Structure 1
Amino acid sequence: MDKTTPVSTLIRQNGPIKIATWRLMMEKYQDFMTRFEHEFRTRHGLSANEFDVLINARPMSQVRHRDLLRSLVISRSALSRLLGKLEERGLVTQQPDPEDQRGVLVTLTEAGQKLCDEAAATNAEIILAAFGGLTDAEADQIFELVSKVCPVE
C-alpha cells in the first residue's frame, strides 16, 4: 500500500517553510488527537474532550464553569453537555457558586479523580512514546522554538 505524501512535505518542497512547518504541526496534532481519542475511549470510556475537562478540573478542589471554559477549546454549550454526561456518570458534581449564583462550581468526585489519574497515565504514555526518539535537550530546543511563534492577533 502506497503511503500518501503529507501535505507538509509537499509545501516544504514547493512553498514557504513557515507554512510547511505550521502544516506539519497540525498533522502531528491530528496524529496525537486520533491516538488519544482511541486510547481514552478504549481504555477508559472517555472521549478526548471528556478527559480534557477532567484534567483541567483536577488541580483544584473546585473550578468555576467559566474558568474551565477558558482552559478548553470548546463552546459553552458543548462544555455544558460534557459536564452533564460526566455528572450522570458520577465523575463530577456541579453546584451553584455560593459567592455568585450565576456561576457554577465543578468538582471531581472520587471516581472522577481515579479515572482522571488513570487516563493521565495513558496520556503521558502516548506523549513519552511519541517523543521517545528525542533527547531532553532536543525536546527543550523544540519547546524554545515553538515558544517563539507569536500568537495571531
Structure 2
Amino acid sequence: MEETTPVSSMIRQNGPIKIAAWRLMMEKYQDFMTRFEHEFRTRHGLSANEFDVLINASTSAQVRHRDLLRSLVISRSALSRLLGKLEGRGLVTQEPDPEDHRGVLVALTEAGQKLCAEAAETNGEIIISAFSGLTDAEAEEIFQLVSKICPVG
C-alpha cells in the first residue's frame, strides 16, 4: 500500500506557506499524541490526559481544581471525571479548599508522585527521540520561531 502525502505537503505546493506550516505543526502534534497515548497506556496504565493532569498537579503540594483547568485542554466535567478516576486509583486526593469553600484542592499521593515521575521519563524519552535529528541550536530556533506566533483572539 502506498503512503499518502501529508496534507501539509499538498498545501505547501498549492497554498499559503503559513497555512502549510500550521498544518504541519498539527500533523506533528498528532504524531506525538498517538505515541504518548500508546506508551503511557502500555507502560504506565495512563491515558495522555491522565498524565497531563498528574504532571500539572505535580508542580506544587496542592493545586486548585480551577488552576488545573487553566493548564489543561479539557472541559470542567472531563477534568472532574479524570480526577475521580485518578482518585479511585489512589493517585490523587481531592479536598475542599478551606479558603474558598466552592473550590477543590488536588494533590498527588505518594503512588501518584511515583507514577508521574515514571511517566515523565517516558514523556522525555519520546520527545528527545523525536528531536534527535536536531541540534540544540536548531531546537532553540524552533522555540524562538514558534514563540513569534501571535495568540488567536
TM-score by length of 1: 0.99
Consecutive unaligned residues of structure 1, counting only runs of 5 or more, are: none
Query: How far apart, in 2, do the equivalents of 1:141 and 1:97 lie?
Result: 42
* Secondary structure of residue in 2 paired with 1:102: strand
1:3 has 2:14 as partner: no
Aligned to 1:70: 70
The one-letter code matched in structure 1 to 2:151 is P
1:16 has 2:38 as partner: no
* Secondary structure of residue in 1 paired with 2:59: coil
Aligned to 1:126: 126
Q: Deviations over 1:57-107 (max 9, x none)?
A: 001000000000000000000000000000000000000001111000000
Q: How many residues align?
A: 153
The one-letter code matched in structure 2 to 1:121 is E
1:142 has 2:142 as partner: yes
* Secondary structure of residue in 1 paired with 2:103: strand
The one-letter code matched in structure 1 to 2:17 is I
Query: How far apart, in 1, do the equivalents of 2:88 and 2:121 lie?
Result: 24
The one-letter code matched in structure 1 to 2:110 is E
Which structure 2 residues correspond to residues 81-92 of structure 1 after superposition, within 5 A? 81-92=81-92
Aligned to 1:52: 52
Aligned to 1:151: 151
Cα RMSD between the aligned structures? Answer: 0.4
Consecutive unaligned residues of structure 2, counting only runs of 5 or more, are: none
Which structure 2 residues correspond to residues 94-105 of structure 1 after superposition, within 5 A? 94-105=94-105
Aligned to 1:112: 112
TM-score by length of 2: 0.99
Query: How far apart, in 1, do the equivalents of 2:130 and 2:117 lie?
Result: 20
The one-letter code matched in structure 2 to 1:14 is N
Q: Deviations over 1:124-153 (max 9, x none)?
A: 000000000000000000000000000111
